[in-house]
Amino acid sequence: MNLLTELEKRIGTDFKNNDLLQEALTHRSYLNENPRYKYGNNERLEFLGDAVLELIVTEELFNRLPEKEEGEMTSYRAALVNAKMLARVADDIGLAEKILVSKGEARELDKTKSRESISADAVEAVIGAIYLDAGFDAAKEFIAKFIFPNIDEILRSGGKDAKSRVQEIAQEKLKITPTYKVISESGPAHDRIFKVGLYFGDRLESEGEGKSKQEAETNAAEEALQKLGAD
């Protein structure tokens, strides 16, 4: 099973034009090192996918939250489609490791912000590719499957993710910024499980597991919120 077929299986989309999916996975830095590469970079698809994503999420929030005003729904939408949330989606579907980047950019992927940005852009590009290949309903099906499940979490947080809420509480009550450290990794390379600890100074406050460091950090933050609420 090649990488594209594996990804199609995970996202539940069988592309008629695989060139679109290939382009969606191509970061612009890759073309600098591979000038004869026959596909373009994913920026145009990202531009399209961003608009499709915003419309579909807006429609869902509008229908789901009839009592909410524009300002609140805008906050919820921003939290659903920000880089951190989309990077989590990229990890969930195994997209991040399939993005083509330059060797130099690959080294930068160890840095959270760079990884988040490139992964999030690729998710939007994939949405754009699905839209062009199979239409609006197919794009909506992808978004409903991988992004709508996060709505309840966003509603509980008031539009703020768990890590942001923990940081606010820790800074307000303890005058300290929480940190996250990987405690252990297990499983084969293609299916790693990360255990991450959330620390207040030297004190381990909570732990979380996930298929990515970001997911494990979020789960650790969720556990910390429950403990802080109980306290």
pLDDT tens for the chain, 231 residues: list them: 476 888 898 888 889 999 999 999 999 989 888 888 899 999 999 999 999 999 999 999 999 999 999 988 988 998 899 888 899 899 889 888 899 988 777 666 555 556 788 999 999 999 999 999 999 999 999 999 999 999 988 887 777 777 888 988 889 888 999 999 999 998 877 667 889 999 999 999 999 988 778 778 888 998 898 888 744
Q: What is the DSSP letter of 16?
A: S
How many whole angstroms separate alpha carbon 7 and alpha carbon 171? 40
* Alpha-carbon torsion angle 215, 218, 219, 221, nearest 10: 160
Q: In what order do the strands lie in the sheet with 203-210?
A: 179-186, 193-200, 203-210
Q: What's the CATH number of domain 3-157, 3.40.50.1370, 3.30.70.270, 1.10.1520.10, 1.10.1840.10?
A: 1.10.1520.10
pTM greater than 0.95 (yes/no): no
Beta bridge partners of residue 208, listed in sequence order? 196
How many whole angstroms separate alpha carbon 58 and alpha carbon 45? 20
Beta bridge partners of residue 184, listed in sequence order? 195
Question: Helical H runs in 102-212?
Answer: 103-108, 112-134, 136-146, 151-157, 162-173
Greatest pairwise CA separation for the chain in angstroms = 60
Q: What share of the chain is helix, strand, coil (3-state, %, to 5)?
A: 65, 10, 25
Q: What is the CATH number of domain 162-230?
A: 3.30.160.20
How many whole angstroms separate alpha carbon 45 and alpha carbon 197? 37
* Alpha-carbon torsion angle 137, 140, 141, 145, nearest 10: 180
As annotated, the residues of the chain forming the CATH 1.10.1520.10 domain(s) are 3-157
Whether the Cβ atoms of residue 176 and residue 200 lie closer than 8 Å to each other: yes
Which positions are catalytic?
Answer: 50, 124
**Shortest CA distance to 7 belongs to which of 116, 89, 117, 101?**
89
Tokens of 58: 């807006």
Whether the Cβ atoms of residue 41 and residue 28 lie closer than 8 Å to each other: yes
Distance between terminal CA atoms of the chain?
A: 50
Half-sphere exposure of 112 (CA within 13 A, CB side): 10
